[in-house]
Amino acid sequence: MSKYSLLNNVYFLGGFATMGGMLFGFDISSMSGVVGTERYQKYFNYPSSSLQGGIVAAMAAGSFFGALLAGPLGDKISRKRTIMLAATIWIVGSIIQCAAQSTSMLIVGRIINGVAVGLASMMVPVYQSEIAPKNIRGRIVSLQQWAITWGILIQYFIQYGCSFIESDAAFRIPWGIQVVPGIILLAGISIFPYSPRWLADQGRAEEALEVLANLRANGDKNHPEVQAEFKEIQDAITFDRTLAARSYSELFQAPNSRRVFLGITLQSWSQLTGMNVAMYYIVFIFQGAGITGQNANLQASSIQYVLNVLMTIPAILFIDRWGRRPVLLIGSTFMALWLFLIGGLMGKYGSPLATDGNATTNWAIQDNDSASHAVIACSYLFVCSFAISWGPVSWTYPAEIFPLRIRSKAVSLATASNWAFNFALAYAVPPLLESIQYRTYFIFGGFCVAMTIHIFFMFPETKGRTLEEMDQIFNSDVPIFKAWEASKIPTAPRIDYDIEQKSEAIEEKK
């Protein structure tokens, strides 16, 4: 396959762009692999649970602001250039983090890295959704989550290998290696095409048609599907021009406010599952389960990371067949089950633990292998439940429900809410584990129950619709609290009719 055909392949473009998600995965694993090690603890003077929470949460704080910046940047300088900017900022942050001489310098590096992750985590799904055809859009955007899991796994193995180094290089090398994916992303994305929808929105219709033709029909601008989709995009933009000037205020006005609320809450719920907390502080979780010794802990962690990668694959392959609603509902139900079991087992079989240096883990299962193994098994099952459901869908759904007019700004708000909760939880969990121990898992289990109820009543199904057809779902007469009735909306999309009309017109010309 030639270079040029690759640059017209939606799978290649969408897959490569997810290196922006890989940056997030690298960052998660770069901290989770060191927070429990003696070298890290000693070099940074045994940070307290609150300080450690602040160090980890610094990245999420930067990501919050990065996500907010991504909205207007995506509209102004393009989706593509925003991702390039994210890669550049990531390189700078990684260098500072690698060279950190104090917790203050480490926090600064992580904040800068966070800005990059916020930009990329918001913009990559938008870019993917705008280049992908409707029948595989979920699969393409789900690759974002898969890239995150690969980033976690790759950085973990780097971290594990470096853990045997008897110097500060044990944590500096992994932090420095983070520069590599940033350089690759910057170099690759620079030659990618612009989003055809962004081009059309900028009045560059001919360029938009050319990109769309390359992505859909090997450059054939007269192909019926290309002409039908281009007409749909143009119609949406023409209607947009009849409205008032764009502003953030319209995000909170009807008819947009409902979709903005759903995007924000879905991203918030994805953090309240506790999954990223489990990734950040997996060492503390396994210490509480009674796993002792650095190597044993890291080896147990590796299984969790591998499962995270493998169980995302079914979601990528079948999300466009299964739909969004059932995947979210089943996933949150099972996550609640595993969390309640973890809390119950640790509460019943655990006991206070004398600590030396690390005060966060002060409750653990001791001398009970069966209970310890059960907790670890539930932890693995929790990760599997997230990986096959909320992991990919939490990125897919917000990227596809908004009209082009507000898409960039609305997705930026949704992604910013993700990072706001990521920051709050990353900061709060070490003190929670220190003060209420196993009861922390009950809190997250309760969140999973609440999100299951919320999804059931308020989130309509979106599979099989083009981005321009989402108005049919969200502006219909279906009651807000009866989301399941959205499935009754006629499923014959407008674009199918347009394709038929374009095909007939071409035949007539012949």
Give the position of tokens 């990223």: 276
What stretch of H or E contains 352? strand 350-352
The predicted model scores a pTM of: 0.84
Instruction: Give the position of tokens 């879905």.
Output: 266
DSSP-based three-state secondary structure for 437: coil
Cα dihedral 417→423→429→432 (10° resolution): -80
pLDDT at 352: 77
Alpha-carbon span 384 to 278, nearest angstrom:
12
Sign of CA dihedral 170, 172, 175, 178: negative
d(CA 440, CA 230): 50
Dist. CA 271–CA 384, nearest whole Å: 16
Cα–Cα distance for residue pair 4/488, rounded to 1 Å: 42
CA 234 to CA 131: how far, in whole Å? 15
The answer to whether 10 and 34 are in contact (CB under 8 A) is no
Please report the domains of the chain, with CATH numbers, ordered by start residue. 3-488 (1.20.1250.20)
Q: Within 289-368, where are the H helices?
A: 294-310, 312-322, 324-349
The span from the CA of 483 to the CA of 475, in Å, is 12
Helix H or strand E encompassing 365 = strand 363-365
Predicted local distance difference test score (pLDDT) of residue 50: 79
Residue 363, phi then psi, degrees to nearest 5: -140, 125
Predicted pLDDT of residue 1 = 35
The pLDDT value recorded for residue 499 is: 53
* pLDDT computed for residue 431 by the predictor: 80
Q: How far apart are CA 327 and CA 338, in angstroms?
A: 17
Model pLDDT, residue 25? 85
Residue 46, sorted as left (phi over 0), alpha (psi -120 to 50) or beta, turns out to be left
Tell me the C-alpha distance between 434 and 358, whole Å.
10
pLDDT of residue 2: 41
3-state SS record for 230-263: HHHHHHHHHHHHCCCCCCHHHHHCCCHHHHHHHH
Residue 167: predicted pLDDT: 86
Q: Please enumerate in sequence order all residues whose Cβ is within 8 A of that of 265, keeping only pairs 6 or more positions apart, or say none.
A: 417, 454
Q: Cα–Cα distance between 152 and 419 in angstroms, integer?
A: 17
pLDDT at residue 305, as a whole number = 85
Q: CB-based burial of residue 314 (10 Å sphere; 0-12 exposed, 13-18 middle, 19+ buried)?
A: middle
- The stretches in the chain having pLDDT less than 70 are 1-4, 32-33, 36, 244-245, 280-281, 292-298, 354-361, 490-510
